[in-house]
Amino acid sequence: MKIKIVLSTIIAIIGFTVTAQKSAVDRWVTIDDKTGKQKSVVELYKENGKLYGKIIYLFPREGREPDPKCDKCTDDRKDQPLVGLQIVRELKWNGTSWDGGTIVDPENGKVYSLKLWVNKENNDMLHVRGYLGPLYRTQTWIRVKKE
């Protein structure tokens, strides 16, 4: 009897650890598609069962204003500071990925439909796919390593 309880506990802990490692809730480094350089750190978090994300850090870039704002945004994010800007909104878990929400590209102000999922082979990679109608672009974000 004790062995069954111990085994059940171990299996539950292992299952919880694997699930936790695959979670998208974390901090992620975004990579510029054109240059391959790090752009920002986005924190993904859950609120009321939905996934949201905000920029928490901008990597230094030549020519960038000291406190850049989302001047090209056209919704409630217009002229809001980029650091602290909620760029991911209203994603719902469908059992295999997060979808049904949106992401804004602060560089051009466009809002895209969004789907994201953690890479099955490498839990430190997050695939972020923005849709504009039938067209889409997928970026890979890298999990911030905890020190």
Please write the tens of the pLDDT for every residue from 50-61: 999 999 999 998
As a whole-number percent, the residues of the chain with pLDDT over 90 amount to 74
As a whole-number percent, the residues of the chain with pLDDT over 70 amount to 86
Residues facing residue 38 across a β-bridge:
31
pLDDT higher than threshold 70 for residue 84: yes
Domain boundaries, the chain: 25-143
Tokens of 61: 């870039």
The whole-angstrom separation of Cα 111 and Cα 88 is: 10
Please write the tens of the pLDDT for every residue from 29-77: 999 888 899 999 999 999 999 999 999 999 998 888 889 999 999 999 9
Domain with residues 25-143, CATH architecture? Beta Barrel (2.40)
Backbone angles phi, psi at 18, to 5 degrees: -65, -45
Give the containing element (helix H, strand E) for 7.
Answer: helix 2-21
Average model confidence (pLDDT) across the chain: 87
pLDDT higher than threshold 60 for residue 19: no
Tokens of 109: 């102000």
